Amino acid sequence: MDNIDIVIPRRRALREYLLCSPVTAWRREHTDSDWPEAVEMSPGRFGYRLSRIKSYLDSRKPIERAV
């Protein structure tokens, strides 16, 4: 059962999961080669693999915040 990859449907759900705005998501989709690739779930309907989203988040450099 561990080999099943969950697909998050729709761009809006991806943005909510990553906590980014529509414009930020669009920019990253077009400029960031590590951005999760959409997969076609059915004709005209796309989703994003949770494993790719998690690997994208793991590859990001943590933000250092001033205290």
Residue spans per domain, the chain: 7-59
Query: What's the full length of the chain, in residues?
Result: 67
| Residues of the chain where predicted confidence (pLDDT) is lower than 70 | 1-4, 67
What gap in Å lies between CA 1 and CA 24, rounded to an integer? 34
What is the token pair recorded at 60? 């990001």
Please write the tens of the pLDDT for every residue from 11-30: 888 888 888 899 999 999 99
pTM of the model: 0.73
